[in-house]
Structure formats: structure tokens, C-alpha cells
């Protein structure tokens, strides 16, 4: 067995070495950023709905504005209040850290796939606009492209950094996300759309034949 003196020497060596270590500084702003990130989702969704309602009202499409308002605003408000209550109820710091980790993990995964979906939509609508040859149709791919770019530049790095800070699992790489998107979203969508298109053509041909 090692002697008491040997052991004390090792213990002193460990304490001395640890004392020489310079601890990384703590940044209170990072903490505030992460808290804001945790609560900002439902607020953004509510703002998006409000923007739709306002746009419809400006266009005097009152039935559309009321429809959106009645259908979506109660859900968005409930979501906002529930999120606030959920975060406030997590009084144990450990539970809050676990909640944050889960939330940022989910957000990091969601944001990557959202960028890919928006890019895909932009490309698809750009093809439609190009084939139609009407200038106004380019507004749609431009909106999707701007959304994808804005998300990739501002939201995505922020959420991924928060996820890393919270010790969350890294989201799948871009190639895996793309593969998942093609396999589970794009292909099923194209198959269903192709099927619907064929059925619609048969119906139209059938109706035409009877005339």
C-alpha cells in the first residue's frame, strides 16, 4: 500500500495543478440568449399568424382574415401561455437543464429540415414559374428562398450553438437530412401527387367521353 506521505504528495500535486488552471469566464449574456431562445418559438408563430391576418385585412379579404384569426390565434395563444408556464414550473435547475436540452435538440433537428424543405419549395416553385413564363409567379420562390436564407443565417447557428451549450445530441448531417427528406417527404408526396393527377385525368377524360 502507498504510504500516507506518498498519498499526501499526490493530493498536493493534484491541488496545485488544478489551482494553476485558469477557469473559462462565465457569460451572463449567453444565459439570457438561451432563455430567450427557449421562449421565442411560440411568440414568432403568433407574430406570423398576426402578419397573415393583417395582410388579409389590408387586402379586404375579411372572411379570410377572420378565418385565420378564429382558427389559428387561440391555438397559438394557448401554446404561448403553456410554454411560459412550463418553463416557469421547472424550478429545479436540473429539470430545467434537461428540458432545455430536449427542446434545443428538437429545435436543432427541426431547423435543418425546415431549411431543406424551404429550399426544395423554392426550387419547385422556381421551375413552375419558369415553365409558366409569368413574372409575378417568381414572387413565391423568392419568398421561400428568402425564408431559407434567413433561417440558415440567423436562426440555425443560434439554435445549434444553444444545443451544443446545453449538451444536446448533434442533429443529423446535411446529407442524411436530405436523404430523409427525399425518402420520407418528397417521394411520398410525388407518388401521391402523381396518383391524384392520374385519377383526375381519368375523371376528366370519362366526363368528356360521356358528353
Instruction: Point out which residues bind other proteins (CB under 8 A).
Output: 1-4, 6-7, 9-11, 13-26, 28, 31, 35, 91-94, 96-97, 167
Copy the grid coordinates of residue 136. 409575378
Which residue blocks in 25-89 are alpha helix, DSSP H? 28-58, 62-89
Closest distance to other proteins from the beta carbon of 190 (Å): 41
Closest distance to other proteins from the beta carbon of 99 (Å): 11
Contacts for 127-133 with beta carbons within 8 Å, 24 or more apart? none
Closest distance to other proteins from the beta carbon of 95 (Å): 10
* 25 vs 209, beta carbon nearer other proteins: 25
Closest distance to other proteins from the beta carbon of 125 (Å): 43
* 88 vs 139, beta carbon nearer other proteins: 88
Judge whether 127 and 191 are in contact, CB under 8 Å: no
* 9 vs 77, beta carbon nearer other proteins: 9
Of 119, 115, 121, 106, the residue nearest 189 (C-alpha): 121
* 13 vs 179, beta carbon nearer other proteins: 13
Could you give phi then psi for residue 111, rounded to 5 degrees? -65, -40
Closest distance to other proteins from the beta carbon of 4 (Å): 8
Judge whether 67 and 49 are in contact, CB under 8 Å: no
Please give the span between the terminal C-alpha atoms of the chain, in angstroms, as a whole number. 103
* 23 vs 209, beta carbon nearer other proteins: 23
- Taking the C-alpha atoms of residue 111 and residue 141, their distance in angstroms, rounded to an integer, is 19
Amino acid at each position: 500500500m502507498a504510504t500516507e506521505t506518498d498519498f499526501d504528495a499526490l493530493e498536493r500535486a493534484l491541488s496545485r495543478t488544478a489551482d494553476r488552471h485558469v477557469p473559462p469566464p462565465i457569460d451572463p449574456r449567453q444565459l439570457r440568449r438561451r432563455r430567450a431562445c427557449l421562449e421565442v418559438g411560440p411568440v414568432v408563430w403568433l407574430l406570423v399568424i398576426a402578419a397573415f391576418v393583417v395582410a388579409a385585412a389590408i387586402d379586404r379579404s375579411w372572411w379570410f382574415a377572420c378565418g385565420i384569426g378564429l382558427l389559428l390565434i387561440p391555438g397559438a395563444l394557448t401554446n404561448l401561455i403553456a410554454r411560459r408556464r412550463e418553463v416557469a414550473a421547472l424550478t429545479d435547475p436540473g429539470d430545467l437543464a434537461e428540458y432545455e436540452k430536449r427542446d434545443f435538440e428538437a429545435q436543432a433537428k427541426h431547423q435543418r429540415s425546415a431549411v431543406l424543405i424551404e429550399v426544395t419549395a423554392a426550387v419547385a416553385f422556381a421551375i413552375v414559374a419558369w415553365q409558366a413564363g409569368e413574372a409575378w409567379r417568381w414572387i413565391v420562390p423568392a419568398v421561400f428562398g428568402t425564408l431559407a436564407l434567413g433561417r440558415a443565417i440567423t436562426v440555425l447557428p443560434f439554435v445549434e450553438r444553444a444545443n451544443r451549450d446545453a449538451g444536446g445530441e448533434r442533429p443529423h448531417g446535411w446529407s442524411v437530412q436530405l436523404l430523409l427528406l427525399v425518402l420520407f417527404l418528397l417521394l411520398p408526396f410525388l407518388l401521391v401527387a402523381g396518383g391524384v393527377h392520374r385519377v383526375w385525368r381519368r375523371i376528366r377524360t370519362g366526363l368528356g367521353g360521356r358528353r
